[in-house]
Structure 1
Amino acid sequence: MTQRLAPLSGIRVLDLSRVLAGPWCTQNLADLGAEVIKIERPGAGDDTRTWGPPFLRDENGEDTTEAAYYLSCNRNKKSVTIDIATEEGVATVKEIAKISDIVVENFKVGGLKRYGLDYASLRELNPRLIYCSITGFGQSGPYAPRPGYDFMIQGTGGLMSITGERDGLPGAGPQKAGVAVADLFTGMFATVSILAALQERNRSGLGQYIDTALLDCQVAMLANQNLNFMTSGATPRRAGNAHQNVVPYQVFAAADGHLIVAVGNDGQYRAYCNAIGRPELGTDPRYATNRGRITNRDALIPVLEEIMKTGKRDEWLARLEAAGVPCGPINTIDQVFEDPQVKHREIWRTLPHPTGGTAPTTASPIRLSETPVEYRNAPPLLGQHTEEVLREVLGWDAERIERLLAGQRSAG
């Protein structure tokens, strides 16, 4: 059989993004086989290169210049240093855009227009170009000119209003998520949008513009909470670790720790009651249906909390798993990577790195049977591929390459 190529083999991405949302998107594309050319500022590069400690350590245990944050979202890419504030730099980026399929950028609205690197300008050079802009609030509307960062978007977009302990309890108050979920979801929505535009281009032969906003993505990802409000008119509130629509679906304290019980239907609820030695709670008319358990939550949950405190965490987990009740521990991140399922799925990977010897990376959750993700290269050093791209992609000769590099060195 002929070996099948990576899904995006032959696709070239001009990556003008930095920090997280854009690089998360372009890492997805790179993982799927696209050639991603990351344009960075000479001498500085992506902001996240310095967002440490921690930094990757070399074979002697000394810090390198590569921050862990940067390493999280830039594998399989090529780094090219070009100063777009110069006429020659802009002309060079345009040369790459002419022979690229996709551009991803996250400058402020209108930020690239003054360089002639906006969609309208590049479309004239390459009508097949798919151009994805990622901003905080989108290309239109009263907030469009504002900068947007994940933390503020989690607040503006409603996530923090439903995240955290219930009002009136110790520790109550709005809480952001533990990772930059607005950025990450935006990167994923941008990836989906680009793949859709590529599929459409197969029919029309033409590219298009994609306007992706952190706020749009944050509001969209509220999912069922949006519909809770839209259908009832009642504003969802923080519920701590409890579920708004399913009971019992929360954290319980055991005698020696905590565990999650995630009962998803009435059959599982009856199995849960049997497993904890209280079958009568499974048939009680007040609690037999999820509707009843929601209505009578304040009566049921204290009873269950007292029962769960009488046993040890791992004993409860064993009993509930044997009864087919969804449950699990609350792992710290070091415990996550010791989990046998996580080990089996090989989620911790390593890649050769020019200064660190090796660099850890988290495996992509995209698992394709015939064309799996390839972990080709660690996140690149700043400017690591500048000469290679200018020579092999643009066809420049050594003299022209040196002239550009010399200009950047003198400017630095």
Structure 2
Amino acid sequence: MAKKKTAYVCSECGANFPTWSGKCSNCGSWDTLVEEVISKQKTSGNQILKKVNPVPLTNVDKTFEFERISTNIKNLDEALGGGIVPGQVILISGEPGIGKSTLLLQLANNLAQDGKKVLYATGEESANQIYLRGERIRALNENIFILADTNFDNILDAIDKINPDFIILDSVQTVYSSELESAAGSVSQVKYVSSKLTEIAKQRNIPTVLIGQVTKEGNLAGPKVLEHLVDTVANFEGERGHAYRVLKLIKNRFGAAGEIAVFNMTSKGLEEVNDPSSFFLMEKPEGKAGSIIFPHTEGSKPVLIEIQALVSKTVYAVPQRRAQGIDINRVSIITAILEKELNIFLKDKDIFINVVGGMQIKEPAVDLPLAIAIISSVFEKPVPEGTAAFGELGLTGEVRSVYYSDLRIKECEKFGIKNIIIPYNTRVDNINVSKIKSVKQLIKDIFNK
């Protein structure tokens, strides 16, 4: 028997190498090369290629229109840009147990109630387990067809037999195809399964949702090509200790990226939160130092979130820096700016930062409220009630403008916030705003120091 040929494939970028090494020379990732069997797929040598001639952009057919499919979940429809487009392929990732399967079973039930046939293929659970979940969240419908199988060929057969209106695959890393010799979850299997399903979705106009596993760092597992293949990439976020869940759209070819849909996890499934700002601020303490409101937005929908800071005398040789929901490197930069520009000595202080509700914030507009919360905790002086802030801080202490300023201000006014601290160069005409150029103004204007 001839020896099988193998290659080492990077699980991050999909690059091939003849020998193993600790670092992928293509993407720079460490310890990501996995040995896989090289498979030769049969191809027809007499394929006739259809010739397609390029046309000017102004001559493209402008009459093409598509009718979006409603999920009957208002927040999800809005985040997707008005609903699901026929043939759209959506990739959803998230931590284990966060509620991905629950959300998709509710989605399948909503579509089934509208008379659509849904194929729910799963390689992680049995049909009995899905039935028990469906019974608990009241999502049992005869139009939902369950296929508990990891063989991709059987899933393709089921698609041909049922001819579904909607496809759900949970998860893409658990399915394997007999066309390839590598194991399920390998780079080649993930690429083949996802590309084949995408091809079927586009040819037959069947909306498809793929669930993707995540790594221990919280990133989407598998090669980056998986995210490029699909139309929409969404991340399901939330802490297990919190009731809220946030579906954040990272990529969307049929709508704006950065949109979010907020849900509340209950014993009967996920309930949509129509007013997430009030949901996150319902337990905000009054008259406490180290707390401020931040109008957060990555899409067109701002959400008011409470930022908390706790600064205390350290008992260790090296002071602690801890952050929940904000990059710890960002906290270190803000701390250095405050020490340099305001002469606030923090080298003997522990600093703990928390985004209430477990929200993950990566936008630079959080710099200013983060600095205000730290200063408030240092001086043990509460920020005046009804105050919100947003803005990016430069290393020299200047406050820089950020995007979506108008939307952030409108969201603050909606909840009766009368004092909004914003960058000086922000072009808005509003009596409720206080414009500042530098962090040095915070000491005088807010804390009267």
With normalisation by structure 2, the TM-score equals 0.29
Output the TM-score relative to the length of structure 1.
Answer: 0.31
Q: Which has the higher contact order (CA 8 A, sep 6+)?
A: 1
Q: Which is helix-richer, 1 or 2?
A: 1
Q: Answer 1 or 2: which has greater strand percent.
A: 2
